[in-house]
Amino acid sequence: MELDLHIVDLARELVFTVLIISGPIMLVGLVVGLSVSLFQALTSVQEQTLSFVPKMLAVMFTTLLLLAPALKYLGDYTARLIGHMTEFGLS
């Protein structure tokens, strides 16, 4: 029973880590996509590359900007995960 609680806690922490790392990137993609769509609706410009290129560039820039903190956060998560291996008898 105790082992099940540890596994659930690790799974919860994994989901939280994924949300922390991918959340800002997805949010930027959402905001840029919504802004471009609103611009296209207001100006009646229906060019496909106009909706794709700004979103792609914004997501790439945000990913590069947040790469160092994301790697630090993932490193901390990995250290905690390896620290919990003794609880499961894996070391």
> pLDDT tens-digit profile of 32-70?
999 998 998 898 888 877 888 999 999 999 999 999 999
pLDDT at 1: 62
CB-hemisphere CA count at 13 Å for 43? 10
pLDDT at 75: 94
* Residue 5 CB neighbours (<10 A): 9
Give yes or no for residue 91 having a pLDDT over 60. no
| Pairwise CA distance, residues 23 & 67, whole Å | 13
| Pairwise CA distance, residues 13 & 7, whole Å | 10
